[in-house]
Structure 1
Amino acid sequence: MQDNTRGALLMMAGMACFVCNDTCLKLIGTDMPLQQLLLLRGTLTIALMVALAASLGQLNFRMSGKDWTWANIRGLAEVGAAYFFLTALFNMPLANLTAVLQALPLAITLAGAVFLRERVGWRRWSAILIGFVGVMLIVQPGGDGFNIYSVYGLLAVGFVTLRDMCARPLSKDVPSMVVAIIGAVGVTAAAGLVLLWDTSVWQPVSLRNGILMTMAGFFLLGGYYFSVAVMRVGEVSFTSGFRYTGLIWALIIGWFIWGDWPDVVTWIGILIVVASGAFTFWRERAVKQVTADKVAG
């Protein structure tokens, strides 16, 4: 099997795991307080991630002060992302929220241009603007389906963008799994502090919810593992395009379990966001190739 083919399959598997994790959490929903859900899932996930990192030889927390600073800021961003994403997940159709998250490549490109002074040409600026028009069509401000949780979905995109931007200054020798573990510890610790503040919100965990939470932990671990593995094979410019298969999984699962199906306007927004993101990937690849050719020449 060629590296690009293997990378594409790994990316699709990772996206399927992340969507299945979201599905398990959405099925639990309001049966359990959010902070309790985050604490229990986080504890299981951290244990699994530590075991995975140890098996990969990546369980190394020796980092410089600068790396620890950025890793901790990233962890705080992870806390905000988890809160807003899961709150939106419990109150929005799975496919709609997943579609909003497809704007992440555009948001990260925008943040890189604004805060890191990365060069972005007019073509990518156009793709960013068009992509965010697509996001607005998905969210539909002023429409019947628009509510505060639609805003939470957008805030989740903002916090995930901040999280990913904080990973850029990290040294290349800092293991990816260690950075992910630090983020998971931050989310779990924040949930634990909230529970200590008000222990009365703790609810008994039913067998159904316990099984769903365990499944969510393993799916999340699979998502992290495949995300790390895909970066080791194939070309990023090729495999990144298969990130959008997560939206396909969300559409199928959302329809099958909850009977949700996007309306025409939402579909138009989805297609615009996916097309804009795909163009951004392609254009970044083209720019890097031109730069590499100039250096080689």
Structure 2
Amino acid sequence: MITTDKAETAAVTLPAPRTSPEAHEPRRPRKRRAWDEVPRWQIYLPLGIYLLFTLIPFYWILLFALRPAGSTSLVPWPMTFEHFEMVWTERSFGAYFQNSVLVGIATLVMTTVIALAGGYALARFDFKVKQAFMLALLCSQFVPGALLLVPLFEIFGNLQLINSLGSVIIAETVFQLPLSMILISNFIKNVPVSLEEAAWVDGCSRFRAFCAVVLPLLRPGLIAVGSFAFVHSWNHFLFALMFLNNPELQTIPVGLNTLMSADSVDLGALAAGGIIAAVPVVIVFAFIQKWLITGFSAGAVKG
């Protein structure tokens, strides 16, 4: 039998809850910023005008693409898809779309892989002509693509690559490599070398340490560089026009050019073709915008 004294000594006394001194301090008023005093209409009115100015061209394209031929209505009703059917079947936009996808994906893969190797060398190794090489990469961005047509046409002619999608893929990759290599080198510089050194101590080779440690951290940068290369090759008109003479091998930008003639322009077909060309790019950017912004901001920290 337990006595009352022993029960009292066995009882556990809980400590009083501690209160931080900050809890008793009065809440400081939020610091007013400059735009807090600006009336709301002065913010939303310019934004609304800019949004209206931006969306009207898109609505106009949809209007011409979805309303019947010869209609002057400002509302696409009754709605028709005859323009899309016409450009996809009669104007061979299905083949143009397939060629553009092939060129875009091949350019994305080749640009990313080659720029990844070159960017790692620029970020992790020191050599005598490194600064001169970086300067040459930067200066190459000021060279317009039109100046490269004659030498590239001569080279591809000797290699028998004219009228082949391979010529466009190689030209787009070469054109995208300098900027992509600089961006990826900046991404790799943001990854501490100590992470790779720890992997080397554990017995990893340089390549295995790069694949296991550095490469997963470069995902935003790789997505940014790859998407930039894809979109540029998707929209580029000049190389595909000059190196591809076979209509079955042409890409979407060249296909859009075929919808315009010296005498007349089919606005409905041109609007439908423009929507077909724009939708894949919009979908891609809608899914990768988070990684794209992160990648470009990370690559701009160091240089």
Larger radius of gyration between Structure 1 and Structure 2: 2
* More helix as a share of residues: 1
TM over 0.5, shorter chain? no
TM-score (norm 1): 0.26
TM-score (norm 2): 0.26
Larger RCO, structure (CA 8 Å, separation 6 or more): 1
